[in-house]
Amino acid sequence: MTNMVAQHRLYGRSAGKPLSERRLRLLAEMLPELSIPEMSEGELNPLELFQSPNEIWLEIGFGGGEHLAGQARLHPDVGLLGVEPFLDGVAKVLGLIEEQGQENIRLRRGDARDLIAQLSPACLDRVFILFPDPWPKTRHHKRRLVRPDFLDRLARTLKVGARVRFATDWADYANRALETFLADGRFLWDASCADDWRIPPSDHLPTRYQEKGLGDCRPVFFDFRFTPHLIQRVT
Ligand SMILES: C[S@@+](CC[C@H](N)C(=O)[O-])C[C@H]1O[C@@H](n2cnc3c(N)ncnc32)[C@H](O)[C@@H]1O
């Protein structure tokens, strides 16, 4: 199989203010060591990036990396992949990794859709999509990450039973993302009461964007389980 590197158009910022000397050093010295290789052909088996991990988790759009680094600290037996196009975020998480001496994180500065296209099938145990860019204007909704074609590509990389967490504090994105997951038909959502999505899951770590509270509703959390054999597509 041949993969195209960087096939998708990214919206939003990919770099911000000038970086401090420390961050420049981290990018120059640490990032090459921790980078998930770009595959121009073949598939990437993330198990090969870590020493005998029990599971592989992916965080999409990790921002400043607090959640990624926090989960990695709590789960040293898990290999965590983080993908983020924003250079400052990548530099920031490198700082956390250095301070905490973490060995179970690998990073891609880029677009999650390109990374997903390069991963081997059924390799992920868990995926976090936490407070993705909301694109609240109707004319920008098509820029949102959670769309049917994205879920279809993500599904290829999920193990049966893999867990996917989506969180947002924008009501329209929450409604549409839930609809999109359920319409796919392979994502089981077993929430039974409002507290199941209104109260942060017990293993959630607050993110920087969440704490800013910029959305138009309180944060909601949807936990799905990938069950391709159980559910019929909703037509
Ligand atoms: C609103 S911020 C949230 C950051 C973080 N998850 C948090 O909650 O603090 C959304 C992040 O997604 C990143 N992002 C946008 N498009 C992306 C893509 N296609 N692949 C990966 N990350 C993306 C942005 O650069 C940004 O850092």
CATH at 188: 3.40.50.150
* 65, amino acid identity: G
Q: Is 133 a catalytic residue?
A: yes
What percent of the chain is predicted at pLDDT more than 90?
83
Asked whether residue 1 is domain-assigned, the answer is no
Asked whether residue 70 is domain-assigned, the answer is yes
Asked whether residue 231 is domain-assigned, the answer is no
Atom 14 (ligand 1) nearest CA = 61
Ligand 1 site, residue 82, Cβ cutoff 6 A: no
Asked whether residue 9 is domain-assigned, the answer is no
Atom 12 (ligand 1) nearest CA = 61
Ligand 1 site, residue 153, Cβ cutoff 6 A: no
Stated length of the chain = 235
> Which structure tokens are listed for 160?
């049966």
Predicted pLDDT at 2? 39
Residues 118-171: pLDDT tens digits?
A: 999 999 999 999 999 999 999 999 999 999 999 999 999 999 999 999 999 999
Pocket test for ligand 1, best of 87, 108, 133 (most atoms within 8 A of CB): 133
| Nearest C-alpha neighbor of 112 from the set 94, 89, 139 | 89
Predicted pLDDT at 13? 61
Asked whether residue 235 is domain-assigned, the answer is no
Which domain range does residue 215 map to? 21-226
Strands (E) across 31-157 are located at: 55-60, 78-83, 105-108, 124-130
Q: Is the dihedral of CA 13, 17, 23, 25 positive or negative?
A: positive
Atom 19 (ligand 1) nearest CA = 111
Atom 25 (ligand 1) nearest CA = 86
Asked whether residue 3 is domain-assigned, the answer is no
* All residues at 6 or more sequence positions from 218 whose CB lies less than 8 Å from its CB, including other chains: 169, 198
Ligand 1 site, residue 89, Cβ cutoff 6 A: yes
* 207, amino acid identity: T
CA distances 58 to 68, 72, 116, 142, Å, are 9, 11, 10, 23
pTM: predicted TM-score of the whole model, two decimal places: 0.93
Are 110 and 60 spatial neighbours (Cβ–Cβ below 8 Å)? no
Average pLDDT over residues 27-35: 96
Q: What would you report as the CA-atom Rg of the chain, rounded to the nearest whole angstrom?
A: 17
Are 101 and 72 spatial neighbours (Cβ–Cβ below 8 Å)? no
Residue 66 backbone dihedrals phi, psi, to 5 degrees: -65, -45
Beta bridge partners, 226, equal 187
| 151: Cα within 13 Å, side-chain hemisphere | 23
Asked whether residue 6 is domain-assigned, the answer is no
Number of structural domains, the chain?
1
Asked whether residue 232 is domain-assigned, the answer is no
Place of tokens 């909703």: 234
Measured from the Cβ of residue 152, the count of other Cβ atoms closer than 10 Å reads 11
Residues 57-82: pLDDT tens digits?
A: 999 999 999 999 999 999 999 999 99
Q: Of 114, 133, 169, 172, which one is the catalytic site residue? A: 133
